[in-house]
Amino acid sequence: MVDFLSFFEEMPIWMKLAWVVGILALFWILEGYYSLTVMTYKKIRHAGVNFIFLLFTMLINVGFGALTLGVFFWIETNQFGLLHLIDLPPVAELLLAILALDLIAQYGVHYFLHKVKWMWRLHIVHHSDSKVDVTTGTRHHPLDFTIRETVALMTVLIMGMPIAYYLFYRILSVFFTYFTHANINLGPLDKALSYVVVTPKMHKFHHHHEMPWTDTNFGNMLSIWDRLFGTFVYADHTKIKYGLDIADEFRDEDVFYQLKIPFDRRVKRNPETELYSNPE
């Protein structure tokens, strides 16, 4: 177990990048053969736009790198966090770390990105994609992603986990982020898997353009949180329409328009009907 975790701690940057590219490429190829939804669009152009957001994400990760190392050094030096208060086998500790990160840094922060007005405005960029495919998983406003990373580090502090646990979860998270956004049809297997993990069809309801589906299926990896907190839905996927009514769907590939959406007060949510409206 120690050797297994050490692998992720010592994993070189090129290998991490290869993992991201490899997973993206795998689901990109599968989308061409096992599509869940038939969409007519310029897939390469669409991917190019979303990869610009991926570039922002990578730059933020570089900025967080030194801070992250500092946090783990402080934890180890001061023996801080819940895992330092209990004596468990490494496997049990790793499981607790994964559960905490998935609940707090994924489900929890995602829930608040929908419920807190100023956070929601940042998250609109992710939901404004009207052609959801594997590359949509890379599409986050830089400030949206910064919030996610900050909460992840807070979770690390609370748990007092070793860096290997965190890096292992990040590797898993990359897989599920692209897996759940991929436009792939798993058939009956999708529903069966949804009892344990978030699946492509399950997550697509979250990308529906209006309530109540938009505020469901917040999970990233494990579906237990949505089932436990009453935000799980699994229905007829043919009724799903991607995008949001508050954003101009014809400008979902306009990067500058997307980056300024959070600060455009003309884009707003109607609290009375819980539907979306765009005055233009």
pLDDT over 50 at 108, yes or no: yes
* pTM reported for the whole predicted model: 0.90
Measured CA to CA, the distance from residue 119 to residue 238 in angstroms comes to 29
**In the predicted model, what is the mean pLDDT of residues 202-229?**
96
Condensed to tens digits (0 to 9), the pLDDT of residues 17-73 reads 999 999 999 999 999 999 999 998 999 999 999 999 999 999 998 888 888 889 999
**Taking a C-beta distance cutoff of 8 angstroms, is the pair 174, 88 a contact?**
no
For residue 205, the model assigns a pLDDT of 97
* The one-letter amino acid at 44: I
- Per-residue b or e along 155-172, where b marks 16 or more CB atoms closer than 10 Å to that residue's CB: bbbebbbbbbbbbbbbee
Question: What does the DSSP assignment read for 155-200?
Answer: HHHHHT--HHHHHHHHHHHHHHHHHHHS-B--THHHHHHTTTB--H
Measured CA to CA, the distance from residue 222 to residue 243 in angstroms comes to 24
The domain segmentation of the chain, as residue ranges, is 2-264
The lowest-confidence range among 127-141, 156-170, 227-241, 252-266 is: 252-266
Per-residue pLDDT band for 105 (boundaries 50, 70, 90) equals very high
Residue 99 structure tokens: 């559960």
pLDDT over 90 at 246, yes or no: no
